[in-house]
Structure 1
Amino acid sequence: MKTPVTSVDVARLAQVSQSAVSRTFTPGASVAEATRAKVLAAARKLGYRPNAHARSLITGRSRIIGLVLSYFENLFISVAMEQLARRLQRDGYHILMFVADLHNADELIGEVLQYNVDGIVLADATLSSTLAGLCADSDIPVVLFNRVMSSSIDSTVSSVRSDNVEGGRLVAAHFVGQGKRRIAYIAGQEESSTNLERERGFREELARHGQRIFARAVGNYNQSEARHATHELFGLSGERPDAVFVASDHMAFSVMDVLRHELGLRVPEEVCVVGYDDVPQAQWQSYQLSTVRQSVPDMVEAAVGLLHGYLRDADQPQPAKDVVVPVELILRASSPA
């Protein structure tokens, strides 16, 4: 059996110290460019591959971030998690992905912790205060992405989300400004923090103008359920809504398809539609969806910043932080200015 090449062999060939070899293959470590070049050349010649597991035993850091998702249908989360993974990889971290039951990660957290992860990001999922405490006791930072803890008394989990309340207000103000009087809302997951905040801002702004939601249905952030919700709101006889705020873009696409192709209604002439997220498909010519833009780059940077802060100052207690990123209403053909 061929004897494995070690960092000592590389150091000897490159005529540098073993610590220089270690720094060369440690993301973020300081090493002179000339030294790095000699080490990499020697490693290529010898066929050396650094042992990440062995390095983690020495440093106490795995450089692995556990990413927990609840489902993949959400177009916004797919875009955001790709950018988050690429951003973490640039910093020398690796992603280990887990799929939780719908919106509840409790059953998976114990399994995630077995992999000696340096941190956990929960995207469109949440966990109980008990499990959050377990992560805190294990010195594992947890960041909720596009969510906030339902319990206001918990102080161990940080979160990054857009200003959902303001987003709801912007949509309501837009519809009122258009002179709409029969304004409907298609909700996402009823008890999710994103839906609760978006609907709260929407209702508050309508109330400020002496209006209230004309009709409401629930789509549960699911395209099929959004289709049924649309039929529920628009399929009955009598007055129909003249505008509808849909709590996510991927539901809004289903809503527009039903309105135009199943109910024969014209968008925006007979009913205006506004979504939430501004996923890339919102710009497609077949939809041209007006929507509330969540800034994915800003949310990703905030999440990475929180993780880095916790890992950099791991020996010092770090209070949980709630980062709220500003939003912007983007008007397109489905509900023009």
Structure 2
Amino acid sequence: MAMRRDASEKVTSLQVAKRAGVSQSAVSRVFTPGASASPATAEKVRNAARELGYRPNVLARAMVSGRSQIIGLVVAYLDNYFYPEALEKLSNALQARGYHVLVFMARQTAECIDEVVEEILDYQVDGIIAASVALSSQLSDRCHEAGVPVVLFNRTDGAEGVSSVASDNFEGGRLAGEFLIAGGHQRIAYIAGWEKASTQVGREAGLRAALGAHGLALHGRGVGNFRMEEAKAATRALFEGPGPGPDAIFVANDHMAFAALDVVRGELGLRVPEDVSVIGFDDVPPAAWAAYDLTTLRQRANRMVEQTVDIMLEQIDTPGAQPRNVALDTPLVIRGSARIPKGWTS
């Protein structure tokens, strides 16, 4: 049972050591992530700490070691299913390696992102992971001068010298185009995400490359900005006007593809995939739901997280380590929302 103490009375590690019958350094090892202590010693120390009401002073330890064991994580939005799941995996993976995560939200503007990262640096973090945002070259230099490594997660448009982990978005877009063309589609449209995002740019470029290789051009284009309501409006606009609407739509992510499917089926009364095929990008859990049954390009979230954590800790442990830029493959997951060409399997 923990002892009741005056709030102003701080229990020290020396007191815990005396009560547990161990050295003060043993107490420090027990409460230091990654340090070694025998199970018997750890049990004695933790029991003594509970009885005395002791809590280790993380900030003081950081001042002595020069390490805060904190990683700053900046993200622009969480309404896309991909990010909450990926960020949970990132947090768990970093915690398993002895690090804590501080999450900061930023709007998709250079000024806001720079302000947020400057704030993160004030917390004396050991590193920064920027998910769904990019850094200016000036801010990248500022982080480098502060000795704080940066890794971009699901972005590749960082300043020179910044590591990044993302999918091969160009190849994913190209594969989507080849699949739709092989399925006999001629009027292929595209719904873009946020125009300045490297993910958006790469996916559209890949699609256009596939179309160009077969003598085709985009039948129509809308911008959804990775937002559901904007994606719905973009889908409606593709079918307006006197000419025929698209017979296939490649959408820059699953979140917007769900919106496109809702409009195509629910508002326009068209059949999927008989009248219109729809392909997304990410393979988030709802893509497999019967209501959507979405054909999509899979982002390998587990591998992205593993690579991001490995690169981050390598750069923390080895100052001056060369930046790494990783692009992972994006397999096509074939479901029922797109016409399946003969001979294609997932």
Deviation at 1:306?
Answer: 1.0
Q: Which residue of 2 aligns with 1:122?
A: 130
Aligned residue pairs: how many?
A: 332
Q: Which residue of 1 aligns with 2:256?
A: 251
Q: Which residue of 2 aligns with 1:240?
A: 245
1:245 and 1:273 in contact (8 A); partners too: yes
Unpaired segments ≥5 residues, structure 2: 1-5, 341-346
Cα distance between partner residues in 1 of 2:247 and 2:182: 13
Q: Which residue of 1 aligns with 2:305?
A: 300
Q: Which residue of 1 aligns with 2:191?
A: 186
1:254-295, Cα deviation, whole Å (9 max, x unpaired): 000011111111111100000000111111111111110001
Equivalent residue for 2:88, pick from 82, 90, 102: 82
Which 4+ runs in 1 deviate beyond 3 A?
none
- Over aligned residue pairs, what C-alpha RMSD do you find? 1.4
In the alignment, residue 318 of structure 1 is paired with which amino acid?
A
Q: Which residue of 1 aligns with 2:120?
A: 112
1:73-128, Cα deviation, whole Å (9 max, x unpaired): 22211211111112112222111111112153112221111111111111111121
Query: Is 1:284 aligned to residue 316 of structure 2?
Result: no
Cα distance between partner residues in 1 of 2:152 and 2:136: 12
1:186-228, Cα deviation, whole Å (9 max, x unpaired): 1111121101111111111222223222211111111111111
1:235 and 1:263 in contact (8 A); partners too: no
Query: Is 1:133 aligned to residue 136 of structure 2?
Result: no
In the alignment, residue 129 of structure 2 is paired with which amino acid?
V
Q: Which residue of 2 aligns with 1:92?
A: 98
Q: Which residue of 2 aligns with 1:64?
A: 70
Decide whether aligned partners of structure 1 residues 303 and 150 sit closer, same or farther in structure 2, where only a CA change above 3 A counts.
closer
1:125-183, Cα deviation, whole Å (9 max, x unpaired): 112100100000000011111101255xx11x111101111111111111111111111
Cα distance between partner residues in 1 of 2:288 and 2:239: 25
Cα distance between partner residues in 2 of 1:103 and 1:327: 28
Query: Is 1:311 aligned to residue 319 of structure 2?
Result: no
Deviation at 1:336?
Answer: 4.6
The alignment partner of 1:327 has SS state of coil
Cα distance between partner residues in 2 of 1:230 and 1:150: 31
Query: Is 1:165 aligned to residue 170 of structure 2?
Result: yes
2:152 and 2:158 in contact (8 A); partners too: no
The alignment partner of 2:14 has SS state of helix
In the alignment, residue 293 of structure 1 is paired with which amino acid?
R
Deviation at 1:65?
Answer: 0.9
In the alignment, residue 132 of structure 2 is paired with which amino acid?
D
How high is the TM-score relative to the length of structure 2? Answer: 0.93
Equivalent residue for 1:54, pick from 40, 56, 60: 60
Query: Is 1:147 aligned to residue 152 of structure 2?
Result: no
Cα distance between partner residues in 2 of 1:113 and 1:130: 14
Higher mean C-alpha deviation, range 22-31 or range 40-49: 40-49
Unpaired segments ≥5 residues, structure 1: none
1:290 and 1:336 in contact (8 A); partners too: no
Cα distance between partner residues in 2 of 1:236 and 1:256: 20
Q: Which residue of 1 aligns with 2:334?
A: 331
The alignment partner of 2:331 has SS state of strand
